[in-house]
A and B are shown apart, each in its own frame.
Chain A
Amino acid sequence: MESDNNLKAFANDIRIETIKCLKKRGFGHVGGCMSIVETLSVLYGSVMKYDAKNPQWEDRDYFILSKGHGGPALFATLALKGFFPVNWLDTLCEPKTLLPSHCDRLRTPGVDVSTGSLGQGLSVADGIAKGFKIKGKDNWVYVILGDGECAEGQNWEAAQFASHFKLSHVVAFVDWNKRQVDGYINDVMSLGDIEGKFKAFGWYAATVSGSDTEAIKTAIENAKKEHGEMPIAIVLDGVKGSGVPEFEEMFDNHFFNLDAELADKAIARLEA
């Protein structure tokens, strides 16, 4: 188990490599990449069971980035953990790349499920958890959903299913960064009390700061102690673009052309 200091440092490295990767391409889904960095650090730095040298290892835990547009942050994490060389990050979206903008399991070592059409990941997580159960395995499946993505009704079908079948080894994170493409969630389509919704569906649910590795790790540990047979939802209270004030303050920070100078400034600050 990594110490919390190491998880913080790992998150910082993920953020730096993600920005470098997006800077090379010149544009991308910057905001939604930034807000999942700490969770990826905790999962790949301490919580999940995997073998970077054998991504298809049968006894691994599975991970699904249901908000598939956050691909670059996951790719940076996988590269730093040795699933593939870090210099692959320079090939994002290039012809024949193994790192497309959205997660693709047939291309990228370590990606378990292809995503990009929002709203499908939680159902697939249910199926994976059910598969584990049938096989008598005690592995976990972790999934990150966007808060905008939660508008897709399929998420709530999956929530109902997981609860009915007592899929206690599903851990769903909701990246509650308050924004989607067209603006703030509350202006576009208010989502209400996310934790309360999952609870109403029979899940164990908690809310933590999405930018605090220690809090995220503790939340996962507590959930696993307390959830009984319930699936677990952890709401990540955060900011879109987090970790780089210029990104956070931009109104349209979902997808944008990443100015190289701004990227360099952000990287220098994070490296200091």
Chain B
Amino acid sequence: MFKLAYNGNFESLPITEVFSSFLGERLEKDSRTVYVDADLMALIGVRDLWKKYPDRVLNTGIMEGNMIGVASGLALTGFKPYVHSFAAFVTRRAFDQIFISAAYNKNTMHIIGSEPGIKQDYNGGTHMTFEDVAMMRTIPGAFIFDITDNAMLLSVLNATKDMQGIFYYRLPMSEIRKVYADGSEFRVGKGNILREGKDATIIVSGALVSMALEAAKLLAEEGIQVRVIDMFTIKPLDEPLVIESAKKTGIIITAENASVNGGLGEAVSRCVTENYPVYVKHVAVKEEFGEVGPESYLFERYGFTGTQLAEEVKKAIQLRSQS
């Protein structure tokens, strides 16, 4: 069960501390846990563990492809690897290694991609991955989680720690708005209804969840009631919840900090068209690359603010009422 704790504030505890204490506990309790990074340990806060466990916490330096290969080999000798780099480099740069060395060999691997999409703000276009979700979705049986906040990260990591397969976690590391109360629990394949409404459903994930809640608030002031679903579990998608929402509200707006090509929106669309066709509008990055700038600018630039989302919802409702 989860409890909503949203009031627009940022998390006070750095999410990297949630991750490093989880990892520290795994390393201590389970001698099969290993961690591999490609020169970004400092950012995710595990350098102390690197010192403490020189055998099982490894730094490859800047070699993402090699990192995935090494982690695959460790998996083949019975270890449970967690690997990390920026989302762009751990997926895009090493995708064939993830596909073949890890997935095709049926290895289990927990892949942490930090600062996905516009979360790369000042690092700009080369670091900004909008395509990671699409790539990872094509891996048969892979799991994809777009992490919203601290409570979700901890719960999802605990839920998956003894499972088998390829797990990809999109991990925001800065300016994270707190959505869930500490201790909230999340289930793989189960989306969360954050708000009820009958006029439309916003299906959203990760960095945009708080924006969707803002949009819902704005819309409520105008008498429009939207259901908001945090679909952090992009794969497996919570299909029953998507279908139920289609039936209940007749309109779905998806919103994601990722490319319109192959992301959450398309996953939802396929589910809807195959089961209960209704109008689905996608808010996502269109045929564009990333660019540099502060997060506040980028949210606006890509149409991700609460106000912009609310506008899209209104347009969708209008379009629907005309047809």
Contact = CB atoms under 8 A, between A and B. Distances in A.
B43 interface: yes
A101 B42 contact: no
Interface in A74-112: 93-97, 100-102, 104
B39 A116 contact: no
A101 B122 contact: yes
A261 B50 CA distance: 34
B39 A188 contact: yes
A182 B63 contact: no
A189 B38 CA distance: 10
Contact of B122 (A93, A149, A252): A93
Interface in B93-133: 93, 122-127
A116 B293 contact: no
Nearest to A94: B293
B292 A93 contact: yes
A180 B62 contact: yes
The residue in B40, B47, B122, B292 that gathers the most chain A C-beta atoms within 10 A of its C-beta is B292
Contacts of B124: 93, 100-102, 104, 116
Contacts of A181: 39-43
Contacts of B89: 117
Contact of B61 (A100, A114, A115, A188): A188
Contacts of B63: 151-153, 189
A185 B66 CA distance: 17
B125 A182 contact: no
B60 A116 contact: no
B92 to A, nearest CB: 8
Contact of B42 (A94, A104, A116, A182): A182
Contacts of B126: 68, 102, 114-117
Interface residues of B, number: 30
A182 B293 contact: no
Contacts of B43: 181
In the complex, which range does the number of interface residues on chain A fall in? 20 to 34
B10 interface: no
A94 B88 CA distance: 22
Contacts of B93: 117
B125 A148 contact: no
The residue in A115, A181, A182 that gathers the most chain B C-beta atoms within 10 A of its C-beta is A182
B61 A153 contact: no
Contacts of A95: 293-294, 297, 301
Interface string A204-223: 00000000000000000000
Given A117-B88, A117-B93, A182 B122 contact: no
Nearest to A185: B61
A116 B293 CA distance: 15
Contacts, number: 89
A70 interface: no
A114 B89 CA distance: 16
Contact of A116 (B62, B123, B297): B123
Contacts of A252: 42
The residue in B42, B61, B127 that gathers the most chain A C-beta atoms within 10 A of its C-beta is B61
B265 interface: no
B291 interface: yes
A189 B301 contact: no
A100 B39 contact: no
A31 interface: no
A138 to B, nearest CB: 31
Contacts of A185: 61
Given A93-B293, A180-B39, A102 B61 contact: no
Interface string A147-162: 0110111000000000
B172 interface: no
A119 interface: yes
B257 interface: no
B65 interface: yes
A156 to B, nearest CB: 11
A67 to B, nearest CB: 10
Nearest to B59: A188
Nearest to A254: B42
B41 A182 contact: yes
Contact of A118 (B41, B62, B291, B297): B62
Contacts of A104: 124-125
A115 B127 CA distance: 10
A119 B93 CA distance: 10
B313 to A, nearest CB: 26
A121 B127 CA distance: 15
Given A93-B293, A153-B66, A189-B59, A182 B123 contact: no
Going nearest first, the 9 A-B pairs with the smallest beta carbon separation are A189-B61, A116-B126, A100-B292, A151-B61, A95-B297, A100-B124, A95-B293, A151-B62, A182-B41
Given A96-B293, A117-B88, 7 more contacts: A68-B126, A93-B294, A95-B293, A102-B292, A117-B93, A148-B39, A183-B47
14 contacts: A93-B293, A95-B293, A95-B301, A96-B293, A97-B292, A102-B125, A102-B126, A117-B88, A117-B89, A117-B127, A148-B62, A152-B63, A181-B39, A189-B39
